[in-house]
Structure 1
């Protein structure tokens, strides 16, 4: 009898501590493979928490979209969440713009609603945690591979395809250029373009053909992501500009296939996008349960080339084991860097 009472009391105590958590998930877009994988990671971890604990995670998804309209829409979505009469317990966001979200973030701080940002940072205000890929490393890995393909005294004719409105893409360009300078690789930036999504990428590809119509007028194109980079490769491949080497970032399956097919792309510093989403949801849940959370996390990127393809399981996969890079004396390490 006493045992039955104890079990009943224990069950009552467990369920008394159980809680339904409302989480507003503000996604950038569903047009880019990596962003889709990030969302999958967030929602997979939410489902896992619901299945393995007494708590329940209720995701309320919002999708902003690309371009200026997308950035504007995300500001409206953020404010809409904050003005809800029944406040959410947590906000997880992939920001579309570094500075445009300062206002709603500061309001969230005032309302004491925790905000986890992933992929991109928000300038101003206080983030509970920021989880992203090691974007500087991504650019660095690309440059380390590319510079091994040319003598140091050869002037690489370089085109940059960047997007200076978010921190991740800025860091990638800095990692690439800084590494060239550090190893004393001679290079010349012929021109810089801006593209981060398919429509903009196709337009840039056409502009490159128009600006540099002659074969061998461009050696290398560095694109800051596959969203904009893949259409550029398609346009150039169709024009038979196979002499150009493309270094890119993200790990989109189509870009990895381009490496297999020797279709312009020679290296892709791949993100573990679903892992980023999983870490974001876990950090948010840990904070809600009064556990210590890292203020910043950097997830390593993996340099996919023809020689390292077998070690990469995809942007939705887990981090692979540490390996020796064929073109370098250094090893690629698989640790997530955590900063308090």
Structure 2
């Protein structure tokens, strides 16, 4: 009788312990880059909306919930230093998982290695971290974004014309480097001649305003530039404003992100002719989905790319906005080596 009672008590204790563990709350450290770049703000909104969705479903099914411990780095060199400090702070706080939108590919290598040593899994999104080991990586298909811009621009000019191109880039993070590579390779694969006149650096409004002023100073003659390619709307919108106010509407601008102000520029015929838009909300959500799966010892692809959408005057009606949903496939109304656009997440590494 005593043995039966003892076994019953042990079974009850095991059940209570299992139930407590099953209904636990995961503390997830979330490191955002900027609160000034609208696309990044939309990514954070998507991530936080997914947290609410996970918690609602988890509560109903007695699964673990999540609590986000959020830090925002800020822009520029100070932002990079802030994020290094913030990541180390969250490692010391022993969060269950880190989700990071890196301000710089190389700068976070040391704190990533510290997280590895502490046994804290790290999911990066939007940008990669060079050095250390990531548990998962989610980003927009940045090469595709640049490529869509390049193939659309190539379709607008005769192959015999050598395009005079100005780049507004940002060589410090992987996403923007991939966008430039995609843009230039699309021109080359289309057989479009081009010459890069000069490159400038900008990914946010202050830098974009400065780059726009420099472009006007360096190339004051109307007709001296055919195309300006900007790696994002964060800096690119300010470039467009500067050029438009100077009356340089002969320039075609190709950009990336899908900021509503840039979409308006396309609609109104104000310099910008294509904007390869990120699905910012779904990107943030996918980062958290991956992290939650890893915390529950479930399978999540290591590296996956969220598709981007080519907004042009021909496709405006099909674009749903940053928060999605991702629209169905369609045939591009311009010449392309890949005639159909398909909005599916692409797994690069399982």
TM-score interval (norm. to shorter): over 0.9
Correspondence for 1:161: 168
Q: Confirm whether residue 71 of structure 1 aligns to residue 65 of structure 2.
A: no
Correspondence for 2:8: none
User: What is the CA RMSD across the aligned residues, in angstroms?
Assistant: 1.4
What per-residue deviation string (whole Å, max 9, x for no partner) do you get for residues 85-107 of structure 1?
xx101100100001000000001
Q: Distance in 2 between matches of 1:320 and 1:222?
A: 25
Q: TM-score, normalized by length of structure 1?
A: 0.95
Correspondence for 1:335: 344
Correspondence for 1:185: 192
Q: Confirm whether residue 42 of structure 1 aligns to residue 40 of structure 2.
A: no
1:196 corresponds to which of 203, 209, 225: 203
Shift of 1:156: 0.6
Q: Distance in 1 between matches of 2:217 and 2:182?
A: 28
Q: Confirm whether residue 279 of structure 1 aligns to residue 286 of structure 2.
A: yes
Shift of 1:200: 0.2
Q: Distance in 2 between matches of 1:335 and 1:238?
A: 38
| Aligned 1:198-237 pairs, distance under 5 A | 198-237=205-244
| Aligned 1:88-127 pairs, distance under 5 A | 88-127=95-134
2:308 corresponds to which of 301, 313, 317: 301
Correspondence for 1:52: 57
What per-residue deviation string (whole Å, max 9, x for no partner) do you get for residues 13-40 of structure 1?
6555111110111000110111001101
Q: SS of the counterpart of 2:197?
A: strand
Shift of 1:153: 0.9
Q: SS of the counterpart of 2:249?
A: coil
Correspondence for 2:4: none
Shift of 1:317: 1.2
Q: TM-score, normalized by length of structure 2?
A: 0.92
Q: Distance in 1 between matches of 2:304 and 2:205?
A: 28
Q: Confirm whether residue 18 of structure 1 aligns to residue 23 of structure 2.
A: yes
Shift of 1:328: 2.8
Shift of 1:178: 1.1
Correspondence for 2:35: 30
Consecutive unaligned residues of structure 1, counting only runs of 5 or more, are: 1-7
Aligned length: 330
Correspondence for 1:5: none
Q: Distance in 2 between matches of 1:219 and 1:109?
A: 48
Q: Distance in 2 between matches of 1:274 and 1:223?
A: 22
Structure index of larger Rg? 2
**Runs of 4 or more above 3 Å deviation:** 11-16
Correspondence for 2:140: 133
Q: SS of the counterpart of 1:152?
A: coil
Q: Distance in 1 between matches of 2:150 and 2:21?
A: 55
Q: Distance in 2 between matches of 1:39 and 1:75?
A: 19
Consecutive unaligned residues of structure 2, counting only runs of 5 or more, are: 1-11
Q: Distance in 2 between matches of 1:164 and 1:32?
A: 17
Q: SS of the counterpart of 2:83?
A: helix
Q: SS of the counterpart of 2:244?
A: helix
Q: Distance in 2 between matches of 1:112 and 1:320?
A: 39
